[in-house]
């Protein structure tokens, strides 16, 4: 999530696990080196608190993403977390329905729910964001549980109940 700690606590999420990925200010940008595939398989070569994203994704029962909707996409922080999550996949390719996708590293299928928030999210932004979520789910061999759009933090809290 990209919420402040105060806002995250205010919406009252009770995580069943101790893995909550939030912006602590230390995330480095993916440099596209593919070291997470060939040099240190499954682990990002960048030494920060987010180097084990692939393993963390594999350990969760449901992936719940809360992100500001920015032009029909995730916030920069959440987008960066996705980029840093490619160790969840293997570098090998498979073709399915005339599309090329990476093999999965972990046998578990993610269940993926996304809550976008922001004032005045346009119809085009909503459409683009939904397409992005489904494309990400396909690439990460996940199933989408829900994609919800909220205007405010209280709306997120209500949608989560």
Domain with 141 in it: 5-13+30-160
Does a structural domain hold residue 25?
A: no
Does a structural domain hold residue 23?
A: no
Can you tell me the distance from the alpha carbon of 76 to that of 109, in angstroms, rounded to the nearest whole number? 25
Read off the CATH number of the domain in which 137 is found.
Answer: 3.40.50
The pLDDT value given to residue 53: 93
Does a structural domain hold residue 22?
A: no
Does a structural domain hold residue 18?
A: no
Does a structural domain hold residue 37?
A: yes
Q: What sections of the chain are H helices per DSSP?
A: 5-11, 35-38, 53-59, 76-83, 123-139, 153-160
The pLDDT value given to residue 18: 66
Q: What is the CA radius of gyration of the chain?
A: 16
Q: Which residue, among 66, 64, 85, 83, has the nearest Cα to 1 in the 3D structure? A: 66
The pLDDT value given to residue 9: 86
The pLDDT value given to residue 123: 98
Can you tell me the distance from the alpha carbon of 50 to that of 151, in angstroms, rounded to the nearest whole number? 29
Structural domains in the chain (count): 1
The pLDDT value given to residue 21: 86
The pLDDT value given to residue 16: 63
The pLDDT value given to residue 12: 84
CA distances (Å), origin 145, targets 100, 107, 111, 133: 23, 19, 6, 11
Q: How far is CA 106 from the centre of its chain?
A: 16
Residues of the chain with pLDDT under 70: 15-18
Does a structural domain hold residue 19?
A: no
CA distances (Å), origin 141, targets 54, 59, 104, 126: 13, 15, 7, 22
The pLDDT value given to residue 136: 95
């Amino acid at each position: 999530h990209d919420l402040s700690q105060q806002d995250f606590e205010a919406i009252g999420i009770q995580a069943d696990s101790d893995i909550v990925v939030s912006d602590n200010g230390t995330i480095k940008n993916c440099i596209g080196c593919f070291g997470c595939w060939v040099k240190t398989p499954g682990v990002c070569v960048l030494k920060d608190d987010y180097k084990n994203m692939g393993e963390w994704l594999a350990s969760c029962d449901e992936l719940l993403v809360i992100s500001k909707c920015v032009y029909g996409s995730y916030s920069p922080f959440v987008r960066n977390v996705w980029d840093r999550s490619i160790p969840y996949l293997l570098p090998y390719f498979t073709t399915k329905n005339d599309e090329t996708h990476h093999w999965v590293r972990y046998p578990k299928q993610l269940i993926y729910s996304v809550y976008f928030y922001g004032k005045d999210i346009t119809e085009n932004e909503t459409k683009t964001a939904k397409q992005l979520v489904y494309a990400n789910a396909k690439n990460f061999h996940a199933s989408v549980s829900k994609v919800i759009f909220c205007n405010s933090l209280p709306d997120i809290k209500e949608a989560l109940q």
